[in-house]
Amino acid sequence: MSESHSIHNKSIALAESAQALSHTLSVDWRLLPYDIQTNRAHVAGLKRCGTLSAAIADSITQSLDRLMNDYRAGNLTHEGCSDEDVHSYVERRVIADIGDNGKRMHTGKSRNDQVMTDSRLYLKDHIQAIGSELQAVLRALGELAEQHTRTIFPGFTHFQPAQPIVFAHHVMAYMTMLQRDYDRLMQCYDRTDCCPLGAGAIAGTNYPIDREWVATQLGFSRVSTNSMDAVADRDFMIEFVSVSAIVMGHISRLCEEIVLWASPLIGFIHVGDAFTTGSSLMPQKRNPDIAELIRGKSARVLGHSVTMHHLVKALPLTYNRDLQEDKPPIYDTVDTVWQSLAALADMIPTITVQQAAIQAAVTVGHL
Of 2, 4, 158, 280, the catalytic one is 158
Report the alpha-carbon distance of residue 262 to residue 247 in Å, rounded.
22
158 an active-site residue?
yes
Report the alpha-carbon distance of residue 119 to residue 121 in Å, rounded.
5
Task: Please list, in sequence order, all residues whose beta carbon lies within 8 angstroms of the beta carbon of residue 77, skipping any fewer than 6 positions away.
Answer: none
Radius of gyration of the chain from Cα atoms?
Answer: 26
Of 132, 279, 309, 310, the catalytic one is 279
Report the alpha-carbon distance of residue 34 to residue 29 in Å, rounded.
10
C-alpha closest to that of 319 among 227, 236, 214:
227
6 an active-site residue?
no
Report the alpha-carbon distance of residue 298 to residue 295 in Å, rounded.
6
Report the alpha-carbon distance of residue 60 to residue 232 in Å, rounded.
29
Look at the chain and count its residues: 367
Residues assigned a catalytic role: 158, 279
